[in-house]
Amino acid sequence: MAIFNISNYKRRATRKKKALAAFMRKLGKSTRKGLQKIALETDKEVWKEVACLDCGNCCKQMTPTFSNKDIKRISAHFEMTPKEFHKKWLKKDSSKDIVNKQTPCQFLGKDLKCSIYAIRPQDCADFPHFTRSNFKYQVQEKTYINNIGYCPATLLFVEKLEAKLADLI
Ligand code: SF4
Ligand code: SF4
C-alpha cells in the first residue's frame, strides 16, 4: 500500500480543490443510499495510507471547539477553575464557539503528541469526522472540503470518495 506523501499535500489540495468541491456539492445533494457505509469503508482505507502521528497539522494550524464539559474536565486536570482555564487559553470566536487563543495548540508536544490525549476535547477525538453518523450533513456543511488544505487524511478521504462515487451520484 502506497503511503500518502504528507509533505506535498497542500499543493495537491490547492490544485484539486475546485473539482473536489464540485463533487462534494453533488454528493451533498445525492439521494443515493449507503453513503454512510461507503464513508466508513473509506475511513479504514485512508488510515492504512496516512501516517497521522507524523503529521500533527490539525493541532499546529487549527483549533478545536471546546464544550463546557471539555473545559470542566481539562481544567480539573490542571487544578484550575474553568474560568481560570478559559482566561489563560481560550477565547470566543466570531461564531461564539470557544476555541484556542493560539496555534499551534498549547497542548501539542515537540514530539507532535497531544500532552492531554486521554482527556482531549471531544472535537479533537472526533477529528477528522469521517465516521460521524451524520456524514451527509457534514458533507453539506462543507466540513471535509474546508479541511482538505489542513488535513492530508481528509484530502485523501475526499479523493477516494470522488473515485468511488463521481459517476454514481
Ligand atoms: S488538545 Fe491535543 S489533540 Fe486537541 S488540538 Fe490540542 S494537541 Fe491537538
Ligand atoms: S487528523 Fe489529519 S491533520 Fe490531523 S494529524 Fe492526522 S492527518 Fe494530520
The answer to whether residues 43 and 29 belong to one domain is yes
108 CB less than 6 Å from ligand 1?
A: yes
1 domain residue, yes or no: no
Amino acid 122 reads Q
* Cell matching residue 146: 474546508
Please name the residue whose Cα sits nearest to atom 6 of ligand 2.
Answer: 52
The answer to whether residues 29 and 81 belong to one domain is no
**How many angstroms does the Cα of residue 119 sit away from the middle of ligand 1?**
10
Rounded CA gap, 96 and 81, in Å?
21
The answer to whether residues 52 and 82 belong to one domain is no
The answer to whether residues 100 and 142 belong to one domain is no
Domain total in the chain: 2
The answer to whether residues 117 and 160 belong to one domain is no
Task: Tell me the pTM.
Answer: 0.93
**How many angstroms does the Cα of residue 19 sit away from the middle of ligand 1?**
31
112 CB less than 6 Å from ligand 1?
A: no
Domain that holds residue 154: 8-59+128-165
- Listing DSSP states for 90-139 in one string gives EEE-TTS-EEESSSS-TTB-TTS-BTTGGG--HHHHHTT-TT-TTHHHHH
Please name the residue whose Cα sits nearest to atom 3 of ligand 2.
Answer: 151
| pLDDT tens track, the chain, 169 positions | 667 878 888 999 999 999 999 999 999 999 999 999 999 999 999 999 999 988 999 999 999 999 999 999 999 999 999 999 999 999 999 999 999 999 999 999 999 999 999 999 999 999 999 999 999 999 999 999 999 999 999 999 999 999 999 988 8
What residue ranges line ligand 2, CB within 6 angstroms? 50, 52, 55-58, 127-128, 150-153
